[in-house]
């Protein structure tokens, strides 16, 4: 009996899965690929709590693959096509061409602005899909569930594989034996760094003019790509040691270096572009000045967008939030106070 015939006989007529999955912020950036969704360098990230996507997927038997997607209650052909194209790449699951996917999804933060909505959205979808695969196989959920979900998320969006876990995660082969190119792995940090805060300064809520997918593609002929990959691998080792030892100053130094290196690669690309805004640069100057004057451990990072993530220990929360409110609010459209989260939640 063929896999498609087996699916027709065993699959329920309808199955519903809902997951809430968070975004993550990379402390060491992944920017550039080799092969099919394999990172050119290892990355390390912190999963967030308040910036998340909630996705409900209704799976139904059908004569052909069909995807209907609503983002915040509005039909989106663009994202439905993206999901459909992704599903067609999963050659090991050929019976997906006999499934209708009805997807309802929403974010707690602006989409397409560099707060990794693809990480939260596609990890949420991958978790729903993994739920469905376990339903079809009849397997009990075990430790492999999240590894499988992380692998499926990676095939949709690299950074999405890291959102399948809470806390800190690594992705990409490196000096850590347990880290893999094919899925993310939880990473334990020093107790003093287990309660880091992340206040997101939303400088612009507009969708960025160069997507992350396009940005990764531009690394293939970048004159500084090889040097960047070496830098990222070195920074990964330094960051991992700093997080393990609780050295927040070293963590912060690498954190900011990685953010600026990421955007330097954009500025020096053969097709040069920038995602930074004037208020992004103004905010960075104010953060540096605040740190010099107060000696408080407030550091920034940026994803592929103009919006700043301010990373700091919870013990300094009141003083730093006062600075953000008084000094940075005028440069932003919105402030999202977030923190390290515990990972996805099945709803």
Same domain membership, residue 231 and residue 276: yes
Same domain membership, residue 99 and residue 11: yes
What CATH number should be reported for the domain holding residue 167? 3.30.230.10
Same domain membership, residue 157 and residue 206: no
275 domain-assigned: yes
49 domain-assigned: yes
Tell me, letter by letter, the H, E, C secondary structure of the chain: CCHHHHHHHHCCCEEEEEEEEEEEEEEECCCCEECCCEECCCEEEEEEEEEEEEEEEEEEECCCCEEEEEECCEECHHHHHHHHHHHHCCCCCHHHHHEEEEEEEEECCCCCCCCCHHHHHHHHHHHHHHHHHHHHHCCCCCCHHHHHHHHHHHHHCHHHHHHHCCCEEEECCCCCCCCCCCCCEEECCCHHHCCEEEEEEECCCCCCCCCHHHHHHCCCCCCCHHHHHHHHHHHHHHHHHHHHHCCHHHHHHHHHHHHHHHHHHHHCCCCCCCCCCHHHHHHHHHHHHHHHHHCCCCEEEECCCCCEEEEEEHHHHHHHHHHHHHHHHHHCCEEEEEEECCCCEEC
The whole-number pLDDT of residue 114 equals: 59
What CATH number should be reported for the domain holding residue 264? 3.30.70.890
235 domain-assigned: yes
Same domain membership, residue 140 and residue 102: yes
345 domain-assigned: no
Q: Among the three residues 187, 211, 242, which one is the final residue of a domain in this structure?
A: 187
Count of the separate structural domains present in the chain: 2
Q: Among the three residues 158, 187, 216, which one is the final residue of a domain in this structure?
A: 187
Same domain membership, residue 242 and residue 123: no
8 domain-assigned: yes
Same domain membership, residue 251 and residue 106: no
Its domain, for residue 152, covers 3-187
Same domain membership, residue 98 and residue 55: yes
Q: Among the three residues 187, 216, 243, which one is the final residue of a domain in this structure?
A: 187
Q: What is the pLDDT along the chain (347 residues), one digit of tens a residue?
A: 455 665 666 678 899 999 999 999 999 999 999 888 999 999 999 999 999 999 999 999 998 999 999 999 999 999 999 999 999 999 888 888 899 999 999 998 877 655 768 899 999 999 999 999 998 888 888 889 999 999 999 999 999 999 999 999 999 998 886 889 999 999 999 999 999 999 999 998 787 788 888 888 889 899 999 999 999 999 999 999 999 999 999 999 999 999 999 999 999 999 999 999 999 999 999 999 999 999 999 999 999 889 999 999 999 999 999 999 999 999 999 999 999 999 999 99
346 domain-assigned: no
Same domain membership, residue 123 and residue 69: yes
The whole-number pLDDT of residue 1 equals: 41
Same domain membership, residue 92 and residue 122: yes
265 domain-assigned: yes
The whole-number pLDDT of residue 174 equals: 87
Same domain membership, residue 262 and residue 121: no
Same domain membership, residue 155 and residue 45: yes
Same domain membership, residue 146 and residue 57: yes
């Amino acid at each position: 009996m063929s896999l498609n015939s087996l699916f027709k006989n065993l699959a329920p007529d309808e199955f519903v899965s809902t997951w809430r999955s968070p975004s993550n912020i990379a402390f060491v950036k992944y920017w550039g690929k080799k092969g099919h969704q394999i990172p050119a360098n290892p990355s390390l990230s912190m999963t967030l709590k308040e910036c998340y996507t909630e996705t409900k997927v209704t799976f139904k038997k059908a004569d052909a693959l069909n995807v209907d997607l609503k983002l915040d209650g509005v039909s989106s052909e663009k994202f439905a096509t993206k999901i459909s194209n992704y599903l067609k790449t999963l050659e090991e699951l050929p019976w997906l061409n006999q499934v209708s996917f009805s997807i309802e999804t929403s974010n707690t933060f602006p989409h397409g602005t560099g707060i990794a909505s693809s990480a939260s959205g596609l990890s949420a979808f991958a978790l729903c899909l993994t739920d469905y695969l376990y339903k079809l196989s009849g397997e009990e959920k075990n430790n492999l569930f999240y590894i499988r979900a992380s692998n499926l998320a990676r095939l949709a969006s690299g950074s999405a594989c890291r959102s399948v876990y809470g806390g800190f995660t690594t992705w990409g082969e490196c000096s850590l034996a347990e880290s893999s190119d094919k899925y993310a792995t939880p990473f334990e940090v020093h107790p003093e760094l287990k309660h880091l805060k992340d206040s997101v300064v939303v400088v612009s809520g507009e969708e960025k003019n160069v997507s992350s997918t396009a940005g990764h593609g531009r690394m293939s002929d970048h004159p500084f790509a090889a040097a960047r990959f070496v830098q990222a691998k070195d920074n990964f080792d330094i960051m991992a040691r700093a997080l393990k030892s609780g050295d927040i100053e070293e963590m912060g130094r690498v954190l900011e270096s990685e953010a600026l290196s990421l955007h330097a690669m954009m500025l020096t690309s053969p097709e040069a572009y920038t995602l930074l805004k004037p208020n992004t640069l103004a905010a960075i100057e104010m953060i540096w000045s605040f740190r010099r004057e107060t000696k408080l451990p407030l550091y920034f990072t940026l994803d592929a967008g103009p919006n700043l993530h301010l990373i700091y220990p919870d013990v300094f929360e009141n003083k730093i939030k006062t600075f953000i409110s008084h000094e940075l609010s005028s440069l932003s459209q919105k402030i999202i106070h977030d923190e390290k989260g515990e990972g996805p939640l099945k709803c």
